[in-house]
């Protein structure tokens, strides 16, 4: 990815608020959130249930509009983009990794990883295929590219999902509870991998998680409580993060 010039700030929210519904049924999910995500970092977002983590991720990914404030991905202010523009932005500049892997069962590993190109209406170029194969090798999937998802372990399936998220060299990857379905060894492998990708390819990753052990792999941990940033801390051990989250849950 060294040939891609990346802005220093991968994403930024300025004064973002999100209110669902109106009148008596209005719920304020986010309230004046200011957040800059620096390129090449792994940032974890933690917080009690209902605190606004998913809403923040959805607003950053253009899946949901902010009620007020602005959101940028790299140099692009996405606040006023239309649906087509947002779809293209998501497809070409963002990557997603979910708890449920979301692989296509009928496609091989290679077919799944090159799917983003197909969805973009084209075949990968020779250079892009070289990159995809480099990724598969780097993620320990080189020998498995002809297999289908059901022939892989959970950890291997999640690595395929990560390779797919990286295939288009996105500006930002959102990982939503990516280790929720994995045992502790596979979880550690996946989290170490995500962190290593930030180092090796200057990849930016935003990890939404309830798990202090997962968040302990991050360079920075943002705690959301009641729709606002309650704490913003540097790399910390799981015990420290667990204590912060417990204190927030007691007050939630």
Ligand X SMILES: Nc1ncnc2c1ncn2[C@@H]1O[C@H](COP(=O)(O)OP(=O)(O)OP(=O)(O)O)[C@@H](O)[C@H]1O
CB nearer to ligand X: pick between 51 and 216: 51
Rounded to whole angstroms, the Cα distance separating 43 from 68 reads 24
Q: Does 252 bind ligand X (CB under 6 A)?
A: no
Shortest distance, position 53 Cβ to ligand X, whole Å: 4
- Residue with Cβ nearer ligand X (145 or 211): 211
Considering only 10, 11, 52, 230, the residue that binds ligand X (CB under 6 A) is: 52
Among 50, 111, 154, 180, binds ligand X (CB under 6 A): 50
| Per-position x/- string for 109-148, each x denoting binding to ligand X as judged by CB under 6 A, each - no binding | ----------------------------------------
Is 55 a binding residue for ligand X by CB under 6 A? The answer is yes
Interstrand relation of 228-234 and 220-225 (parallel, antiparallel or unpaired)? antiparallel
Segment interacting with ligand X, rule: CB under 6 A, options 51-59, 107-115, 157-165, 237-245: 51-59
Q: Does 53 contact ligand X by CB under 6 A?
A: yes
Quote the least distance from Cβ 106 to ligand X, whole Å. Answer: 30
Backbone angles phi, psi at 73, to 5 degrees: -115, 115
Among 51, 157, 171, 179, binds ligand X (CB under 6 A): 51
Near ligand X in 2-21, by CB under 6 A: 20-21
Q: Which of 2, 4, 22, 49 binds ligand X (CB under 6 A)?
A: 49
Residue 54 is a binding residue for ligand X (CB under 6 A): yes
As a three-state string, the secondary structure of the chain is CCCCCCCCEEEEEEEEEEEECCHHHCEEEEEEEEEEEECCCEEEEECCCCCCHHHHHHHHCCCCCCCEEEEEECCEECCCCCHHHHHHHHHHHEEEEECCCCCCCCCCHHHHHCHHHHHCCCCCCHHHHHHHHHHHHHCCCHHHCCCCHHHCCHHHHHHHHHHHHHCCCCCEEEEECCCCCCCHHHHHHHHHHHHHHHHHHCCCEEEECCCHHHHCCCCEEEEEECCEEEEEEECCCHHHHHHHHHHHHHHC
| 212 lies in the site for ligand X, by CB under 6 A | no
CB 50 within 8 A of CB 1: no
| Region near ligand X per CB under 6 A, out of 49-57, 75-83, 88-96, 158-166 | 49-57
> How near is the Cβ of 13 to ligand X at its closest, in Å?
14
| Using rule CB under 6 A, residue 47 touches ligand X | yes
Site residues, ligand X (CB under 6 A)? 20-21, 27, 29, 47, 49-55
């Amino acid at each position: 990815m060294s040939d891609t010039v990346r802005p220093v700030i991968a994403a930024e929210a300025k004064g973002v608020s999100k209110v669902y519904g109106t009148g008596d049924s209005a719920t304020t999910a986010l309230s004046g959130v200011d957040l800059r995500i620096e390129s090449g970092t792994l940032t974890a977002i933690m917080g009690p249930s209902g605190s606004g983590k998913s809403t923040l991720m959805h607003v950053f990914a253009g899946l949901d509009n902010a009620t007020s404030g602005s959101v940028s991905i790299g140099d692009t202010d996405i606040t006023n983009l239309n649906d087509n523009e947002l779809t293209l932005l998501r497809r070409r500049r963002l990557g997603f990794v979910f708890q449920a892997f979301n692989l296509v069962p009928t496609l091989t590993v290679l077919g799944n990883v090159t799917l983003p190109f197909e969805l973009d209406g084209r075949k990968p170029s020779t250079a892009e295929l070289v990159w995809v194969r480099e990724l598969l090798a780097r993620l320990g999937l080189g020998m498995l590219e002809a297999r289908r998802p059901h022939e892989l372990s959970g950890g291997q399936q999640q690595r395929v999902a990560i390779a797919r998220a990286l295939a288009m060299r996105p500006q930002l990857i959102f990982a939503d509870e990516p280790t929720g379905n994995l045992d502790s060894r596979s979880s550690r492998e996946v989290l170490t991998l995500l962190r290593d990708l930030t180092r090796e390819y200057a990849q930016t990753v935003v990890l939404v998680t309830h798990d202090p052990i997962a968040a302990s792999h991050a360079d920075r941990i943002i705690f959301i409580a009641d729709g606002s940033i309650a704490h913003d801390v540097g790399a910390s051990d799981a015990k420290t993060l667990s204590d912060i989250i417990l204190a927030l849950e007691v007050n939630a």
